[in-house]
């Protein structure tokens, strides 16, 4: 049994890993994150990609000169990501929301955290726990770029329709300020699917 089977939030991902990797790699980092590119810190900034999937984003940020940790709980996706992006110095770890226990236990801090198509897999209680963990992992002044998926849930997956407003309010309760919000259609052109891009900032002090 893969470690992905231990998390209800990752249901269906291990079995579909090859198909999902092809899907993830069919669009570029710049296409996916076009609305927030101007907000991202310059290199070298410590980056954490939570739910890194195929490593598409982690690899691009590594190419740009950032030290990158890719946290991916699905063993099949980690293996494929390591293989596809073996030319990049990505640090792969088997850690996951809502608690990210390995990274927190190590006292890691990051100037940029990516959560691309991850947050909607967590239920309400898990989102509260996860926001506390995310806040702990952000360095003072650090940014969290959260991409929220809206629309039909694929068969066999666990997803919740989480709004940007709810996420912003939860972040505020943990001391994080929203510095960007935008909406966009699905880059894969799937019927009924849309996205919210939200960037949260931890204060530089306090």
CA angle 56/83/16 to nearest 5° reads 70
Query: What is the distance between the alpha carbons of residues 204 and 128, in angstroms, rounded to a whole number?
Result: 22
What are the structure tokens assigned to 4, written together? 């992905």
Mean per-residue pLDDT, 105-117: 97
Query: What is the distance between the alpha carbons of residues 143 and 36, in angstroms, rounded to a whole number?
Result: 11
Query: What is the distance between the alpha carbons of residues 14 and 75, in angstroms, rounded to a whole number?
Result: 7
Whether the bond into 44 is cis, omega within 30 of 0:
yes
Q: For residue 205, what pLDDT band results from cuts at 50, 70 and 90? A: confident
For residue 97, the cross-strand partners are: none
Per-residue pLDDT of 54-86, as tens digits, reads 999 999 999 999 999 999 998 999 999 999 999
**Helical pair 75-84 and 17-25, crossing angle rounded to 10 deg:** 40
Q: For residue 4, what pLDDT band results from cuts at 50, 70 and 90? A: very low
Per-residue pLDDT of 145-166, as tens digits, reads 999 999 998 888 889 989 999 9
Note the CATH number of domain 3-201.
3.40.50.150
In Å, how far from its chain's centre is CA 5?
Answer: 19
CA angle 145/148/150 to nearest 5° reads 165
pTM of the entire predicted model: 0.90
Closest CA to 116 of 58, 45, 185: 58
Query: What is the distance between the alpha carbons of residues 163 and 83, in angstroms, rounded to a whole number?
Result: 35
What are the structure tokens assigned to 61, written together? 């940020």
Q: Are 199 and 179 contacting, i.e. CB atoms less than 8 angstroms apart?
A: yes
* 11: three-class secondary structure by DSSP: coil
How many CB atoms sit inside 10 A of residue 178's CB? 17
């Amino acid at each position: 049994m893969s470690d992905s089977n231990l998390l209800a939030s990752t249901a269906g991902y291990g079995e579909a890993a090859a198909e999902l990797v092809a899907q993830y790699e069919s669009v570029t980092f710049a296409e996916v994150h076009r609305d927030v590119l101007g907000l991202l810190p310059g290199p070298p900034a410590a980056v954490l990609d939570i739910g890194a999937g195929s490593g598409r984003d982690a690899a691009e940020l590594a190419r740009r000169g950032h030290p990158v940790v890719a946290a991916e709980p699905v063993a099949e996706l980690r293996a494929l990501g390591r293989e596809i992006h073996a030319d990049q110095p990505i640090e792969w770890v088997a850690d996951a929301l809502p608690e990210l226990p390995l990274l927190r236990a190590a006292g890691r801090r990051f100037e940029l955290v990516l959560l691309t198509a991850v947050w909607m897999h967590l239920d309400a209680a898990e989102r509260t726990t996860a926001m506390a963990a995310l806040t702990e992992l952000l360095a003072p002044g650090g940014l969290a770029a959260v991409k929220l998926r809206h629309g039909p849930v694929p068969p066999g997956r666990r997803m919740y329709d989480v709004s940007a407003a709810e996420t912003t309010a939860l972040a505020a309760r943990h001391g994080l300020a929203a510095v960007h919000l935008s909406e966009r259609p699905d880059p894969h052109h799937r019927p009924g699917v849309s996205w919210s891009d939200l960037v949260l900032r931890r204060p530089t002090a306090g």
